[in-house]
Amino acid sequence: MAKGTVEVDKLRCKGCSICVEVCPQKVLNLSKEPNPKGYYYARQADPDNCTGCAMCALMCPDVAIRIWRQASGN
């Protein structure tokens, strides 16, 4: 069961791949299909291993990432 969820705004993402590199669990990758701007956007490829640490969101230069985390104790 995933502890966290990442949602990338694919219209805002420019595919810089900083989030892909910075993720300690390596749960993100770039899409095969471009977004309307022509960028290969980041997406959550391996949602089960996401811990919701938000490192990707902290480093996202386009503020395109939202993070949800399982409330502690659950």
39 vs 44, beta carbon nearer other proteins: 39
31 vs 54, beta carbon nearer other proteins: 54
Q: Strands (DSSP E) along 1-74, which ranges?
A: 4-8, 28-30, 42-44, 65-69
- Tell me the CA distances in angstroms from 47 to 53, 64, 67, one per residue in order: 13, 17, 12
How many angstroms separate the CA atoms of 59 and 37, rounded?
21
Q: Which two tokens stand for residue 34?
A: 């471009």
Measured from the CB of residue 27, what is the shortest distance to other proteins in angstroms?
15
Measured from the CB of residue 41, what is the shortest distance to other proteins in angstroms?
11
Binding site for other proteins (CB under 8 A): 4-5, 11-12, 14-18, 21-22, 39, 52, 54-55, 57-63, 65-71
32 vs 63, beta carbon nearer other proteins: 63
